[in-house]
Amino acid sequence: MTAWQRGVWWIALMVALTGCGDGGDEPPPGDERLGGVAQPEASTQAAAEASVTPFEAVVSINIDARLRRDRRLMVEGGTNLPEATHLQVLVERELSGVRWQERTAVGAEGFVAGPFGPGSGLPDGGYRITVNMPAAQVQPPNVRERLGDRGQHLKGPLVQASRHGLGKVISARQRFLIGSEPRHTTDQVNVIEVE
């Protein structure tokens, strides 16, 4: 059999197989197809979208810090953000600019991060604690559904536009002074003493 004859044979076979089927061009009832992919009914899609309640409250984050016996800092806080929301906690020493950071997630009781600081412990002085929520695109799917794909459901004084154009993000800051005799300040701060 020559190559030409084999080609004709394959074409004939393909034409014969294309003609095979159930004899109808219409899909079975209830099987709505778009681009060859089965699509759920519109009522099912609407029910799934309606089951997710958008986040409608003003965002709140409370930051509290506790100095452990080894003089390392634990950061705890409460928030009304949905459980599993990813947060980044940053502790910065004001005098030197040295920073420590950790990623955490909101749980049923709030969030916890740390311990922060070197193994030798934190020296007395001023520290800034910042809690950031990254853009909604990097949040878990269930959180993203509540906050909106670009954080459009977020509101309040802690909410700001992302520097990278990824929608809205959250940033909360608190200043703390560590030590039994911290330096004098006119700022509003929380003083932490060793336990």
Residue 81 falls within a domain, yes or no? yes
pLDDT tens track for 9-38: 667 656 555 555 555 555 555 545 444 555
Q: Taking 80 as the threshold, does the pLDDT of residue 122 lie above it?
A: yes
What domain range includes position 186?
Answer: 61-192
Amino acid, single-letter form, for residue 185: T
Strands (E), the chain: 33-34, 37-38, 61-67, 73-79, 86-93, 99-105, 111-116, 125-133, 159-161, 168-178, 190-192
Instruction: Specify which of 12-16, 119-123, 184-188 reaches the highest per-range mean pLDDT.
Output: 119-123
Highest-confidence segment of 17-21, 28-32, 49-53, 161-165: 161-165
Within its chain, how far is the Cα of 158 from the centroid?
A: 16
**CATH code, domain with 137:** 2.60.40.10
pTM of the model as a whole:
0.69
In the structure, what pLDDT confidence band is assigned to residue 158 with cuts at 50, 70 and 90? very high
| Range in 6-15, 36-45, 92-101, 108-117 with the lowest mean pLDDT | 36-45
- The number of folded domains in the chain is 1
Residues of the chain above pLDDT 90, percent: 61
Q: Is residue 55 part of a domain?
A: no
- pLDDT attached to residue 34: 47
Q: Is residue 155 part of a domain?
A: yes
